[in-house]
Amino acid sequence: MARILASEADVAEGVDALLALDRRLVPVLEIAGKVRLRRSQPGFAGLAAIVVAQQLSVASADAIHGRLVALVDPMTAAGLAAAEEAALRACGLSRPKIRTLRALAEAELSGALDFAGLGADDPEAARAALTKVSGIGPWTADIFLLFGLGHADIFPAGDLALKNAVAEALALAGQPSTAELEGLAACWSPWRGVAACLFWAYYRARRGGREAAPV
């Protein structure tokens, strides 16, 4: 059974466990301050929002997502599948994002992707199921599993802010590659998701409050 971050108490438990696992994180926490639970929408609507926001500024993503949810209301797989291509383009969506959203809708409608089951799956199994959908890469899957479903042991090692935060906080010689960061994060299991939130909070604090977490 997957460990889920369902409350602030769960996050606090994870932080305490991380400090016991790795004392290098003590000064990181001192700078980061309280590590908070940040959850976004679960299910199709939540993952669709992450797809929309990829590689966009917060303002642009919010504007496009706002038009999309006005068009597809409620935001469901069936509703998205029924939407006209021209209407989706008018929301500001690129053709690749429309293809990804349609593939995601088809995966749920066909039963190939079970959002309810993803929350109970082992994190790696859930990640593998998500990345089978055309257009859903590791970063998108990890962000959804952590913020949408609350998986406690997910570490989005491809995230640029996380790479910079870990390099700075642990005084690494340079920015780690995704594979190198995955290796570094292995020692924080089974609380890698809380470790990610800790480093995002550290990054934010070091930059005067500028947001770092993707959602």
pLDDT at 117: 87
The string over 145-165, giving b where at least 16 C-beta atoms fall within 10 Å of a residue's C-beta and e elsewhere, is bbbbbbbbbbbbbbbebbbbb
Give CA–CA dist 171/174, Å, rounded. 8
Output 118 or 185, whichever has higher pLDDT.
Answer: 185
Q: Which CATH class is domain 43-148?
A: mainly alpha
Amino acid residing at 8: E
- Return the structure tokens found at 90: 């008018």
Given the candidates 3.65.10.10, 1.10.1670.40, 3.40.1360.10, 3.40.50.670, the CATH classification of the domain at 8-38+154-206 is 1.10.1670.40
| pLDDT reading at 122 higher than 90 | no
The share of the chain scoring above pLDDT 70, in percent, equals: 96
**pLDDT one-digit tens code per residue, 140-175:** 999 999 999 999 999 999 999 999 999 999 999 999
Least confident of 29-33, 123-127, 145-149, 170-174: 123-127
What mean pLDDT is predicted for residues 177-191? 96
The answer to whether 12 and 191 have CB atoms below 8 angstroms apart is no
Judge if 8-38+154-206 and 43-148 fold alike in CATH terms.
no
Distances (CA, A) of 37 to 8, 15, 161: 6, 11, 18
Q: Where are the domains of the chain?
A: 8-38+154-206, 43-148
Q: CB under 8 Å to 141, separation ≥6 — which residues?
A: 126, 127, 130, 131
Q: What single string gives the DSSP state of each residue in 20-37?
A: HH-TTHHHHHHHH-----
